[in-house]
């Protein structure tokens, strides 16, 4: 079978399979010989370039501002894809890297979260070790699939451990085996389809909670290759092309689905299980906002007792609005006083002087998400749009306010917290 034939059949989902599931997965991980042939002929690179051209055709260029948003999104999504599909996608020499950050946001990213990623293969043995840090929530997952597949169900969680169940010593140090049968020694078993390691750290206090210092090593494999494997590089380029086309289409369709709901709508979803890469025990309330000049969107939320909560705004591209330079998100440490356990947040284009203002940074519409981790019950949410001039009368009298100087101080602390999180 030629490289071209293999790639065409792979796209259709009918590439040849072997009878052994483990061998099949290893072939996918290491790259079929068809990938090497496609690489040698230049087809892999040409395909990637054609995909990028098709992605660019979908950019709205009706105004310079919309074109800037669209092309910036493509460039940043490509930068994120290069990390997860190429530069850090060698399971024989895994390196933890930032899967998402403030320079490469995608997929409705969480402003409180530091996401880490490393490639795995199911037949290999690894060790994750280091200092667990001080994040309010720490979750470690072994997953199958890849976010380039273009389907939510294309990623499945095989094993997971969180801060509560992670075995650390008095100094917060730990050593976690990962591989076939690793669960028998207190680690995470990979099963027959493991593809990557994903680590989430949720920070409530952005300044004082220290990120984990972690390394992952392959315990039974060779050192880094002196020369690149053509099968691996060919497979990486094909994965990147899928990331841009199929992955990008998935996030775009999910964002459009939220935006298609009536303006200023939010739906509460039940707590998630640990599957499809989701964080177990997390309630999501997701929807949209529409707020033009002279308007204010009020969110009154009765918050249940929970381990961690965050309310955040995202743009049409499903990127978190720049949370280091704008107060576009809030959590339990950042919000003002919450009388009676009820948060009263306000979306407005200009600072209305209330502590829990959510700044859309010039976006007149976008998506929003409330995440509650390990909540005792679902939240109660009321959302409505009022004229900005009627905002004061529409809010409870005890809604906390801030002065311009206090707002500046808050923004300075946010900026510093983000830079500390991504310092290394």
Query: How do residues 238-281 score in pLDDT, each as one tens digit?
Result: 999 999 999 999 999 999 999 999 999 999 998 876 677 788 89
Q: How far is Cα 145 from Cα 124, in angstroms, rounded to an integer?
A: 16
Give the per-residue pLDDT at 408.
98
Band the pLDDT of 191: cuts 50, 70, 90.
confident
Domain ranges in the chain are 3-253, 261-421
Average pLDDT over residues 150-174: 94
Range 118-130 average pLDDT: 96
Assign domain 261-421 to its CATH architecture. Answer: Sandwich (2.60)
Distance separating alpha carbons of residues 384 and 395, to the nearest angstrom: 11
pLDDT at 17: 32
Q: How many Cα atoms are found within 13 Å in the side-chain-facing hemisphere of 388?
A: 14
For position 314, what pLDDT does the model report?
A: 98
pLDDT at residue 223 is higher than 70: no
Cα atoms in the Cβ-side hemisphere of radius 13 Å centred on 106: 27
pLDDT, average across residues 198-202:
98
| Residues making up the chain, counted from first to last | 424
Higher pLDDT, 35 or 223: 35
Confidence of residue 29 (pLDDT cuts 50, 70, 90): low
For residues 349-377, give the mean pLDDT. 97
Contacts of 154 (CB under 8 A, 6+ apart): 145, 146, 147
Residue 386 has pLDDT above 90, yes or no: yes
Mean pLDDT over all residues of the chain? Answer: 91
pLDDT tens, 127-144? 999 999 999 999 999 999
Token pair 């496609």 in the structure block, residue: 38
Supply the DSSP string of 287-316, one letter for each residue: EEEE--TTEEEEEEEEPPP-SEEEEEEE-T
Q: Does 24 have pLDDT greater than 80?
A: no
Q: What is the pLDDT of residue 167?
A: 96
Instruction: Give dist(CA 71, CA 20) in Å, integer.
Output: 43
Residue 22's pLDDT is: 37
pLDDT of residue 5: 44
**Among the ranges given (87-96, 199-208, 285-294, 408-417), the one the predictor scored with the smallest mean pLDDT:** 87-96
Q: Which residue has the higher pLDDT, 301 or 9?
A: 301
Q: What percent of the chain has pLDDT above 70? A: 90
Q: Is the pLDDT of residue 34 over 80?
A: yes
Distances (CA, A) of 208 to 67, 331, 424: 38, 14, 16
pLDDT value of residue 32: 65
Nearest to 145 by CA among 106, 91, 188, 195: 195
Q: Taking residues 6-23, what's their average pLDDT?
A: 39
Average pLDDT over residues 192-206: 96
Query: Kind of pairing, strands 365-373 and 308-314?
Result: antiparallel
Number of H helices, E strands in the chain: 9, 18
Distances (CA, A) of 403 to 350, 354, 406: 14, 9, 5
């Amino acid at each position: 079978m030629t490289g071209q034939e293999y790639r065409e059949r792979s796209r259709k989902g009918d590439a040849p399979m072997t009878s052994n599931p483990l061998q099949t997965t290893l072939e996918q991980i290491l790259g079929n010989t068809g990938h090497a042939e496609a690489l040698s002929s230049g087809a892999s690179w040409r395909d990637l370039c054609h995909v990028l051209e098709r992605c660019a055709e979908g950019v709205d260029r009706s105004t310079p501002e919309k074109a800037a948003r669209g092309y910036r999104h493509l460039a940043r999504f490509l930068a994120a894809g290069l990390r997860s599909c190429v530069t850090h996608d060698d399971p024989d020499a895994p390196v933890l890297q930032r899967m998402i950050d403030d320079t490469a946001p995608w997929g409705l990213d969480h402003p409180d979260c530091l996401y880490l990623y490393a490639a795995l293969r199911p037949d290999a043995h690894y060790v994750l070790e280091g200092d667990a840090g001080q994040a309010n929530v720490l979750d470690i997952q072994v997953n199958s699939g890849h976010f380039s597949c273009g389907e939510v169900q294309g990623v499945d969680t095989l094993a997971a451990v969180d801060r509560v169940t992670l075995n650390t010593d008095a100094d917060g140090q730990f050593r976690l085996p990962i591989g076939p049968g690793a669960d028998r020694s207190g680690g995470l078993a990979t099963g027959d389809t493991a593809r990557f390691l994903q680590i989430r750290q949720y920070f409530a206090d952005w300044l004082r909670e220290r990120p984990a210092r972690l390394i992952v090593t392959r315990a039974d494999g060779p050192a880094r290759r002196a020369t690149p494997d053509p099968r691996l590089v060919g497979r990486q380029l094909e994965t990147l092309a899928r990331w841009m086309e199929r992955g990008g289409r998935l996030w775009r369709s999910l964002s459009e689905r939220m935006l298609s709901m009536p303006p200023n709508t939010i739906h509460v979803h039940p707590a998630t299980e640990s599957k499809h890469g989701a964080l177990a025990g997390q309630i999501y309330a997701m929807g949209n906002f529409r707020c033009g000049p002279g308007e204010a969107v009020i969110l009154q939320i009765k918050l249940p007792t929970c381990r961690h909560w965050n309310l955040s705004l995202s743009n049409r591209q499903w990127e978190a609005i720049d949370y280091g330079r704008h107060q576009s998100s809030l959590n339990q440490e950042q919000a003002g006083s919450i009388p009676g356990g009820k948060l009263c947040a306000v979306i407005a284009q200009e600072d209305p002087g209330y502590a829990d203002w959510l700044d859309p940074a010039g976006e007149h519409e976008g998506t929003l998400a409330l995440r509650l981790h390990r909540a005792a019950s679902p939240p109660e949410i009321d959302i409505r749009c009022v004229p900005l001039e009627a905002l004061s009368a529409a809010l409870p009298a005890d809604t906390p306010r801030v002065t311009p100087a206090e707002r500046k101080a808050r923004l300075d602390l946010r900026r510093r917290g983000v830079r500390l999180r991504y310092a290394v």
